Amino acid sequence: MSEQPLFKVTIDNITIEVPAGTTILNAARKIGGEVAPPAMCYYSKLEGTGGKCRTCLVEVSKGSEKDPRPMPKLVASCRTTVMDGMEVKNITSEKVVDARNGVVEFLLINHPLDCPICDQAGECHLQDLSYNHGKEGTRYEFQRRTFKKHDLGPHIQLHMTRCILCYRCVYTADQLTNKREHGVLDRGDHSEIATHIEKSLDNDFIGNIIDVCPVGALTDKTFRFKNRVWFLKPMDAHRDCPTCSGKVTLWNRGEEVFRVTARKDQWGEVEEWICNTCRFEKKQSSDWVIEGPRLIDRHSVISQGHYAGSVGTHLPTDTFVAVHNGRKPKLMMDIHTVSEVNKPEITLSKLDRPAHSTDFKSNQD
């Protein structure tokens, strides 16, 4: 087989060489950092993805060495391949930043601002995108579209109101499972992800649609409302699984496993698909061989306060006593003796619904 020729491409003034056929987005990912445009619909592990959301728009200021004319419009970097000598502007282009602001405003037209109660909060790509590019207000004056919540099988809930129609879940179901039962129905603002006559998706690998969803439209019913991701401690773990690689990330609080997800790379993409048994049924620490803490990007809210000493943060080694010339701290109260606020027969983390007032001791108890 003949070797692919290498093309020189310059993105935000950084030049690299990539094989012909590489998309601008993947070339930018090779450089990394802020040079890589955000992507809400493209997913490198799924064929045919990209070209739907327009968040990855870039400006091509020089087409190629042979034809240096700039491209007349901004292009979707996930769908445009590089040419030799191409020059691309991402964050260095005012046009791109302005267009991306518009795309975010557009994506948020119908997306509810329910981050405080959404299970995806803290790891939502749309939330990150809006922080970087969003505006404070909206110019939209009409009612947002809303949908009823649907159960897709026993473990997955679809909250269509939050969906941004990126199609990733459709491609996942199509390419990973041998029995596709869901897709996008209708057109325009009536479009919705739906299962044909409410069929449940019970395929062995269907749980992966939760991991690919960039927003909180597809959630894990075994984890919904149980905890906030930034309170949990992600640990790499594996088990001997006959169906998948068994390599996962466990999200623990103490010894308790709150959720199991696939491991994700720096672009938020799944490294290896995992099966439903690993994801939904193995919720005991004893089911897993723990490898160690998962390295989390330090900019992520999930990394806050985790792993002092192991990923670049350092706790002071001096003790209180040493710092205060031998004086011992005066403890006003031991919080452990007063923190049992729930009724003793109720374990909050085992409820399969949100906790409410009747689960807690009243002031009179």
* Site residues, ligand SF4 (CB under 6 A): 163-169, 193, 212-215, 217-218
Record the tokens describing residue 22, joined without a space: 């590489």
Q: How far is the CB of 53 from ligand FES (least distance, A)?
A: 3
Q: How far is the CB of 125 from ligand FES (least distance, A)?
A: 10
* Binding site partner of 60, from ligand FES, ligand SF4, none, Cβ cut-off 5-8 A by kind: none
| Binding to ligand FES, residues 52-81 (CB under 6 A) | 52-56, 76, 78
State yes or no: residue 40 binds ligand FES (CB under 6 A): yes
* Binding site partner of 107, from ligand SF4, ligand FES, none, Cβ cut-off 5-8 A by kind: none
Name the residue nearer to ligand SF4 (CB basis): 218 or 274: 218
Q: At what angle do helices 94-107 and 125-133 cross, to 10 degrees?
A: 130
Give the range of 2-10, 36-44, 226-234, 324-332 binding ligand FES by CB under 6 A: 36-44
Question: How many other CB atoms sit within 10 Å of the CB of residue 232?
Answer: 21
The helix or strand, by DSSP H or E, that contains position 87, with its residue range, turns out to be strand 86-89
Whether the Cβ atoms of residue 86 and residue 7 lie closer than 8 Å to each other: yes
Among 8, 16, 51, 273, binds ligand FES (CB under 6 A): 51
Q: How far apart are CA 267 and CA 56, in angstroms?
A: 13
The helix or strand, by DSSP H or E, that contains position 101, with its residue range, turns out to be helix 94-107
Name the residue nearer to ligand FES (CB basis): 214 or 246: 214
Name the residue nearer to ligand SF4 (CB basis): 31 or 218: 218
* Binding site partner of 293, from ligand SF4, ligand FES, none, Cβ cut-off 5-8 A by kind: none
Residue with tokens 């701290």: 329
State yes or no: residue 107 binds ligand FES (CB under 6 A): no
- Torsion-angle region of 131 (φ positive above 0: left; ψ -120 to 50: alpha; else: beta): alpha
Query: HSE on the CB side for 95, CA within 13 Å?
Result: 12
Q: How far apart are CA 260 and CA 222, in angstroms?
A: 10
Q: How far is the CB of 51 from ligand FES (least distance, A)?
A: 5
Query: Burial letters for 58-95: b for 16+ Cβ neighbours within 10 Å, e otherwise?
Result: bbbbbebeeeeeeeeebbbbbebbbbebbbbbbbebee
Q: How far is the CB of 111 from ligand SF4 (least distance, A)?
A: 9
Record the tokens describing residue 226, joined without a space: 């149980």
Q: How far apart are CA 204 and CA 243, in angstroms?
A: 8
Q: How far is the CB of 52 from ligand FES (least distance, A)?
A: 5
Q: How far is the CB of 212 from ligand FES (least distance, A)?
A: 13
Among 39, 126, 201, 209, binds ligand FES (CB under 6 A): 39
* Binding site partner of 193, from ligand SF4, ligand FES, none, Cβ cut-off 5-8 A by kind: ligand SF4
Helix (H, G, I), strand (E, B) or coil at 164: coil
Name the residue nearer to ligand SF4 (CB basis): 83 or 173: 173
State yes or no: residue 215 binds ligand FES (CB under 6 A): no
Q: How far apart are CA 247 and CA 294, in angstroms?
A: 12
* Binding site partner of 54, from ligand SF4, ligand FES, none, Cβ cut-off 5-8 A by kind: ligand FES
Name the residue nearer to ligand FES (CB basis): 24 or 152: 24
Whether the Cβ atoms of residue 275 and residue 207 lie closer than 8 Å to each other: yes
* Binding site partner of 165, from ligand FES, ligand SF4, none, Cβ cut-off 5-8 A by kind: ligand SF4
Length of the chain equals 365
Going by DSSP bridges, is the β-strand pair 86-89/6-11 parallel, antiparallel, or unpaired? parallel
What is the DSSP secondary structure assignment for residue 72, as one 8-state letter? S
Q: How far is the CB of 201 from ligand SF4 (least distance, A)?
A: 12
Tell me which residues touch ligand FES (CB under 6 A).
39-42, 50-56, 76, 78
